[in-house]
Chains A and B, each alone.
Chain A
């Protein structure tokens, strides 16, 4: 897959994610965060399982063959959810959002740069730093325009 096409797909996934967040936010308000998350994860598991049954080709390596630490990804998602539930009302949504993005991008850069967790090492180049600066500015402008409207 070409890089441009891949980027378009990832950006689209970001849009999908924010639609999902909006729907789940509404759901969480009525049934509670635990129940709305369980619904999301359970439906996600069922949908993925169905897709695997009908579309996934056989692989030489199965989930049970890889080192167990590679399967721990979901733990971080669940811990994230619980931290946000506890922290957002106390520090405010805007501060929490910025803190999450800082952690996300910082850790992302570290993993990329050193090739941790079995990822290919990607050196932190000038254009990558510029990209990050552009995003930081964009978020700043979004935030300013939002607070002005509110």
Chain B
């Protein structure tokens, strides 16, 4: 249940720490690629599991095991910085409600269109959403003029989806 956050790729990173050592970068890149491969393995495990035990149960296995692991990690990593959850604005807490939607859809889709195509469709949604939000100024974001390159990107995305639908 993770996003390759394309939006973050758009914004300049808050505090980039450029690696002085190019070797470190070279070592890290395969690690990041492996992590990305892990996301597809995760999706690959989910599909068949959902077919056998039900999509919601498969989803629960992800969130249940993930929550347990993170709880242990948090417990072992000592005192945490920052305010308590109760002090945060409520809307910041709704991420947890959106996560299950994504995972259930993964379990539903991968047996039918395959993992690679599911990932492409997910990425399409991410790209399309950011272009449309900027263009129409949805969700209270400032209305920005969407330039030609981004419309082209959206058109390519639609083309990719048509290709997937055709099989």
Name A residues whose Cβ lies closer than 8 Å to a Cβ of B: 1, 3-4, 6-7, 9-27, 29-32, 34-49, 51-52, 55-57, 59, 61-63, 65-66, 69-81, 83-84, 86-97, 99-109, 111-112, 116-120, 122, 125, 127-128, 130-132, 134-135, 137-139, 141-146, 148, 150
Q: In the docked arrangement, what's the CA distance between A19 and B101, Å?
A: 12
Cβ of B116 and Cβ of A18 under 8 Å apart? no
Q: In the docked arrangement, what's the CA distance between A40 and B115, Å?
A: 24
A27 — which chain B residues lie within 8 A by C-beta?
88, 92-93, 95
A-facing mask of B64-86, CB < 8 A → 1, else 0? 11110111011001001111010
Cβ of B70 and Cβ of A18 under 8 Å apart? no
Cβ of B122 and Cβ of A17 under 8 Å apart? yes
Cβ of A80 and Cβ of B57 under 8 Å apart? no
Q: If the complex has contacts A9-B105, A9-B108, A70-B48, are A44 and B67 also in contact, measured as CB distance less than 8 A?
A: yes
Closest CB in chain B relative to A92 CB, distance in Å? 6
Q: In the docked arrangement, what's the CA distance between A7 and B128, Å?
A: 14
B105 — which chain A residues lie within 8 A by C-beta?
9-10, 12-13
Cβ of A77 and Cβ of B42 under 8 Å apart? yes
Q: In the docked arrangement, what's the CA distance between A59 and B167, Å?
A: 31
Q: In the docked arrangement, what's the CA distance between A26 and B14, Å?
A: 12
B100 — which chain A residues lie within 8 A by C-beta?
44, 47-48, 51
Cβ of A30 and Cβ of B63 under 8 Å apart? no
Q: If the complex has contacts A44-B63, A103-B39, are A15 and B2 also in contact, measured as CB distance less than 8 A?
A: no
B110 — which chain A residues lie within 8 A by C-beta?
119
Cβ of B97 and Cβ of A80 under 8 Å apart? no
A34 — which chain B residues lie within 8 A by C-beta?
70, 73-74, 77, 80
Closest CB in chain B relative to A69 CB, distance in Å? 8
Does B99 have its Cβ within 8 Å of any Cβ on chain A? yes
Specify which of B1, B67, B94 is in contact with A38 (CB 8 Å cutoff): B67
Cβ of A117 and Cβ of B31 under 8 Å apart? no
Q: Smallest CB-CB separation from B65: which chain A residue?
A: A74
Q: In the docked arrangement, what's the CA distance between A143 and B60, Å?
A: 35
Cβ of A111 and Cβ of B44 under 8 Å apart? yes
Closest CB in chain A relative to B67 CB, distance in Å? 4
Q: In the docked arrangement, what's the CA distance between A104 and B16, Å?
A: 24
Q: If the complex has contacts A25-B5, A107-B41, are A137 and B156 also in contact, measured as CB distance less than 8 A?
A: yes
Interface centre among B70, B119, B122 (most CB of A within 10 A): B70
Cβ of A23 and Cβ of B57 under 8 Å apart? no
Specify which of B28, B88, B128, B166 is in contact with A15 (CB 8 Å cutoff): B128
Q: If the complex has contacts A88-B13, A104-B37, are A135 and B120 also in contact, measured as CB distance less than 8 A?
A: yes
Q: In the docked arrangement, what's the CA distance between A3 and B127, Å?
A: 21
Q: If the complex has contacts A13-B125, A78-B66, A137-B156, are A119 and B97 also in contact, measured as CB distance less than 8 A?
A: no
